[in-house]
A and B are shown apart, each in its own frame.
Chain A
Amino acid sequence: MSVFLAKRITTLVITLMLTTVVIFVVLEILPGDPASIMLGINAEADTLAALRAELGLDRPVHIRYIRWILDLLQGNLGTSLTYDVPVSELIAERIAISLPLALMAIILSTVIAIPLGIIAASHHNRPLDFFVMGFSQLGIAIPNFWFALLLIIFFSIMLKWVPAGGFAGWDAGMWPSLMSLFLPSIALALPQSAILARVTRSSLLDVLKEDYIRTARAKGVSQRRALWGHALRNALIPVVTIMGLQFSFLLAGAIIIENVFYLPGLGRLIFQAIAQRDLIVVKNMVLILAVTVVVINFVVDLLYAVIDPRLRGGENG
């Protein structure tokens, strides 16, 4: 067990380091002179010089890299050029929107998809199965931002139930805030649930064909109990992995959705930073996103070992 853990943690650290190197190279080295990018071609020479000095661009590359990492580890993510506010503050503000959004989307998609997948598998080749498969095909094909627009047309414009965008702020009240997040989380959840439903279904169907299900039936276990008691746990193992892998897509989706709905979250922050050429924000935000994905994948890996005893080691046979 500890060997397993040690291996995984080493991989995690290496991947994280690689990530930082890549981001650093792409966003600080490749552009040549980050300062002129940030300030634009019309910038004056002394403004440029001042910025360069402030960013420490005159120092050698590896020093800058180490400086950056050290700052990161201390929680210093630099100061935004546009807002003149520490990036960490900006993130803290925006995460109050992005995190609930992501959580709502994850919960929604799991609650919809897994039962749908189970229903499809237990009604294999009957109408309900085809219905779920059709839903899944459609859900995968619909771009989530288009779905968002459709939702806006229907729920905001025609029915006027929810606002079409923007975010009132948590101080304005729990309910209005949640309502603002309602459509966005549905839009985010759609492609995820389509994929998850499909994966759940095929995983369950595969497991139901396994020998040990037949053994269970031979003991007198009923078909229903075999599905819920034996098949499901085995079937959910790959599903959990997929959910974890889907996380990076969730992040990507969140960036788009926040822009569709004008939600002042992390996605919108990054986006505006690009428009404003605020490389400091972009660099650190991308890092945060990438690190989150890597860490989540790591956690999923560990989870996998918890659910599947075969991975914990101690094999005989």
Chain B
Amino acid sequence: MARRLVEIFTHGLKNRSFVIGGIITLLFFLIALLSYVWTPHAIENISIANKLKLPGSVYWLGTDHFGRDIFSMLIVGARNSVIVAFVAIGIGLGFGVPLGLIAAARKGWVDEFIMRFNDFTFAFPSIISAIMITAILGPGAVNSIIAIGIFNIPVFARVSRGAAQSVWKREFILAARSSGKGAFKISLEHVLPNIFSMLIVQTTIQFALGILAEAGLSYLGLGTQPPAPSWGKMLNEAQTFLYLAPQLAIYPGVAIVLTVLGLNLFGDGLRDVLDPKLRRSR
């Protein structure tokens, strides 16, 4: 297992997307972690006297309309994005992968049923689910986690089902079945390890999408609530000052773009490294 990881790593280093994406992604996570122990300024520090300052030595990216340090808010916002996207992926994996595995293993009407359920869930993009949940529960970070998580389920279900189906067709599965192994055990011991790389790749994609979705929801005010900073909320507040201080709208957006780009590049590079057969027309 460890040897495989080293192998993947060395192969990965030759791949441009992997390296660039990996560095960006790593930076992102490190910064998010860092925010727990240190930020250049405390984000609760409201100081109207210092509002809307331009970037300088004290406030690296300047301040917002409340005098809060933008850089500090960005890195705490990173933390928020990570948590939301992460838990949402957990939901997606936790429910989606078993569903996909069951669908591939059972086939027949169970498969049909799960596929219909999938299609149906696809009709509810995170926004709509978030709207529904907010309508009853009121806004909050938990809502966005649930909403994004719900939408992750059919994605992972579909991916695991597809990958599992091609594993089931392989001959060693036939061997396992003829030796009497039940479908549950086969799924666990044989199918799951073989679809692992596809799941990892999909996870990076969904992570990036989760960050985008979280930003959208908090922009609308449906997600993370103040005073917790989130990139989306920063953009929403920046919109009021678009004429006065357009730079407020630039920083959080760039942060989002860089992070998502990094994750996507990393995912692409990872896909190339993990399974060259998956390497389609690149």
Contacts and interface: CB of A to CB of B under 8 A. Distances in A.
A205 B119 contact: no
B128 A145 contact: no
Contacts of A18: 116, 120
B97 to A, nearest CB: 21
A252 B249 contact: no
B145 interface: no
B85 interface: no
Nearest to A34: B136
A294 B116 CA distance: 11
B125 A251 contact: yes
B116 A14 contact: yes
A214 B208 CA distance: 39
Interface stretch (B48-56, B179-187, B191-199, B255-263): B255-263
Nearest to B115: A11
B90 interface: no
A215 interface: no
Interface in A117-133: 121, 124
A149 B239 contact: yes
Contact of B131 (A14, A22, A282): A282
Q: What secondary structure prevails in chain B residues at the interface with A? A: helix
Contact of A274 (B116, B120, B135, B264): B135
B36 interface: no
Interface string B225-246: 0000000000100110011001
A101 interface: no
B135 A164 contact: no
Nearest to A255: B127
Contacts of A271: 131, 220
Contact of A297 (B123, B235, B242): B123
A23 B215 CA distance: 25
Contacts of A286: 128, 131-132
Contacts, number: 134
B120 A19 contact: yes
Interface in B254-282: 256-257, 260-261, 264-265, 280-281
B212 interface: yes
Given A137-B265, A289-B128, A205 B281 contact: yes
Interface in B107-164: 116, 119-120, 122-128, 131-136
Nearest to A203: B281
Interface in B202-228: 208, 212, 215-216, 219-220, 222
A277 B135 CA distance: 6
Contacts of A121: 281
Contact of A252 (B125, B235, B256): B125
A177 interface: no
A290 B124 contact: yes
Contacts of B131: 255, 270-271, 274, 282, 286
Interface of B: 116, 119-120, 122-128, 131-136, 208, 212, 215-216, 219-220, 222, 235, 238-239, 242-243, 246, 249-250, 252-253, 256-257, 260-261, 264-265, 280-281
Interface of A: 11, 14-15, 18-19, 22-23, 26-27, 30-31, 37, 121, 124, 137-138, 140-143, 145-146, 149-150, 152-153, 157, 164, 201-202, 205-206, 209, 245, 248-249, 251-252, 255-256, 259-260, 270-271, 273-274, 277, 279, 282, 286, 289-290, 293-294, 297
20 contacts: A27-B135, A137-B264, A146-B215, A146-B249, A146-B256, A146-B257, A149-B235, A150-B250, A150-B253, A206-B281, A248-B123, A255-B127, A255-B131, A259-B220, A260-B239, A289-B128, A290-B123, A290-B128, A293-B122, A297-B123
Given A146-B257, A209-B281, A273-B135, 8 more contacts: A27-B132, A146-B235, A149-B235, A248-B122, A249-B125, A255-B127, A290-B124, A294-B123
Q: List the 4 closest pairs (A to B, CB-CB), nearest first.
A: A205-B281, A146-B253, A141-B260, A252-B127
